Amino acid sequence: MGKKVVLTGNYSASEAAALCRPDLIAAYPITPQSSVVEYLAGMVHNGKIDANLVQVESEHSACSVVQGAVAAGGRVFTATSAQGLALMYEPYFRMSTLRFPMVMALATREMTSPETVWSGQQDAMSVREAGWIQVYCDGNQEIVDMVIQGYKIAENEKVLLPVNVCYDGFYSSHLTEGVDLPLQEEVDRFLPAVHFNHCVLDPEKPFALDPLTPGPLMMKYRKSHLDAMEAALTVIEEVDKEFGDQFGRYYGGAISEYRTEDADVVILTIGGMTGTGMDAVDLAREQGIKAGLVKIRFARPFPAKRIAKALAGKKAFAVIDRSVSFGWSTGPMYMETRAALTDVDDKFAHFSAIGGLGGADISLDRMLGTIKKLDTVKNEPGQKETQWYMTD
């Protein structure tokens, strides 16, 4: 067993990253992520970890410096939020398309405008076509465990892709919880030293990394990237089991389910709202509604088959998003959930719910309201109006 400690979400990410023995960490501040890299800087400056720390001048450089270190064979870590993620988009996209494994913590935050520093998942959702694996956590223990699992998934030779460990800004990043922090020797046993060599710049084995690439070869690369995403769905489940077998904590892989076995109506959640959603399910059950919950853990790769299986035979579902999909008048995970289902309008009553933007609360009442609405419309298949969790 590990060490019982009390940590914020950000410190959980830092402690877990340190346990993975990174070679290089790039540090640049942005609310609400800043304390991740501050904490790691303290560990480096106090000799608690043997990592190179590069205090860069921007997120663009944070992503670029760690990219260079991966190109020289290193294990790397950095963290960001919102505007920082937007600024690093250029090297960020290239990290995945170069097939560079790494883990980056993302304390999710709304995108400006309007000017905001508060929670929301618009930043992470906006880059889900950038080729990274994305996992969304709903508690500090899960942050610790997914940073560690993240390297194992990223560096798997069938995957070789970077992983974003996302958690809700402030709600998770600044919330303090008890955490079982694995011991170093346990993590060393789970996560071997970094060993990939498909992209390492070395004068002893000279090659051109990323020459001008003609379309037919690029098509092969893109397909191989998509195949790796597909393979990651299996690797995610394998790593979840291996981690659970060693540390006693299983997360269910790409999704997890709560009271869905006999449910008629199901809410789908992502990230930190999940705990409230489970309480709402319990309350609804007390009121006689057969409710259940599916937690979408990985948005990339999207676990379409598992979601379809979890919803098979149910009467109604709603997907609660902490972000919007411009042009669809819904949340993005709702659209993707729909896309995962066949004959959705014949089989289900369904709608999108949007809440928690810019740090607004996703309350128990609101989620219970969504479940009650599902129960009301469950025998009328088809899409219903998007629910907005407005406060007035």
Partner 1 sequence: MSYIDVLREAKDVVTPGMSACQGCGGELILRTVLQVSGKNTIVGIPPGCMAGAGVVGWNYANGLEIPVHIPLLDNTASFLTGVSQMYERKGRTDVNIVAVAGDGATADCGFQSLSAAAERNEKMLYVCYDNEGYMNTGYQRSSTTSRGSRTSTTPIGSVINGKQQHQKYLPLIMSMHGLEYCATASPSHMADLVAKVQKGLAASKKGFAYLHVFSPCPTGWAYKSEKAIEVARKAVASNVFPLWEMDENGYKLTENKNPISVAEFVQGIGKFKNLTPEVIESIQKVADARYETLRKLSAK
Closest alpha carbon to 130 in 165, 168, 163: 163
Nearest-approach distance from CB 43 to partner 1, in angstroms: 17
Spatial contact of 65 and 26, defined as CB atoms under 8 Å apart: yes
Stretch that binds partner 1, among 205-213, 237-245, 351-359, 370-378 (CB under 8 A): 205-213
> How distant is the alpha carbon of residue 23 from its chain centre?
23
> What gap in Å lies between CA 153 and CA 239, rounded to an integer?
7
* Residue 177: DSSP 8-state: E
Backbone dihedral angles phi then psi of residue 135, each to the nearest 5 degrees: -115, 140
- CB closer to partner 1, 70 vs 316: 70
Backbone dihedral angles phi then psi of residue 80, each to the nearest 5 degrees: -160, -175
Closest alpha carbon to 168 in 281, 321, 294: 321
Does 65 engage in binding with partner 1 (CB under 8 A)? yes
Stretch that binds partner 1, among 139-147, 212-220, 237-245, 310-318 (CB under 8 A): 212-220
Stretch that binds partner 1, among 70-78, 135-143, 222-230, 357-365 (CB under 8 A): 70-78
Cis check: omega of the bond before 192, within 30 degrees of 0: no
What is the per-residue binding string for partner 1 in 17-56, x denoting contact by CB under 8 A? ------xx---------------------------x-xxx
Does 67 engage in binding with partner 1 (CB under 8 A)? yes
- CB closer to partner 1, 66 vs 320: 66
> What gap in Å lies between CA 353 and CA 332, rounded to an integer?
10
Size of the site for partner 1 (CB under 8 A): 38
What is the per-residue binding string for partner 1 in 285-324, x denoting contact by CB under 8 A? ----------------------------------------
Q: How far, CA to CA in Å, does 23 sit from each of 18, 53, 110, 145, 188?
A: 10, 9, 31, 20, 14
Does 60 engage in binding with partner 1 (CB under 8 A)? yes
Stretch that binds partner 1, among 127-135, 150-158, 202-210, 317-325 (CB under 8 A): 202-210
Closest alpha carbon to 95 in 164, 21, 144: 164
Nearest-approach distance from CB 42 to partner 1, in angstroms: 19
Backbone dihedral angles phi then psi of residue 195, each to the nearest 5 degrees: -145, 5
- CB closer to partner 1, 213 vs 246: 213
> What gap in Å lies between CA 135 and CA 346, rounded to an integer?
31
> Can you tell me which of 1, 45, 197, 211 binds partner 1, judged by CB under 8 A?
211
Structure tokens at 381: 């298949």
The SS3 call for residue 306 is: helix
Q: How far, CA to CA in Å, does 225 sit from each of 155, 162, 291?
A: 14, 11, 37
What is the per-residue binding string for partner 1 in 91-120, x denoting contact by CB under 8 A? x--x--------------------------
- CB closer to partner 1, 24 vs 377: 24
> Can you tell me which of 5, 71, 341, 360 binds partner 1, judged by CB under 8 A?
71
> Can you tell me which of 5, 41, 44, 73 binds partner 1, judged by CB under 8 A?
73
Stretch that binds partner 1, among 7-15, 211-219, 292-300, 368-376 (CB under 8 A): 211-219
Spatial contact of 310 and 284, defined as CB atoms under 8 Å apart: no
Amino acid (1-letter code) at residue 217: L
> Can you tell me which of 61, 80, 140, 352 binds partner 1, judged by CB under 8 A?
61
Q: Tell me which residues touch partner 1 (CB under 8 A).
A: 23-24, 52, 54-58, 60-61, 64-74, 76, 90-91, 94, 201-203, 205-212, 214, 217
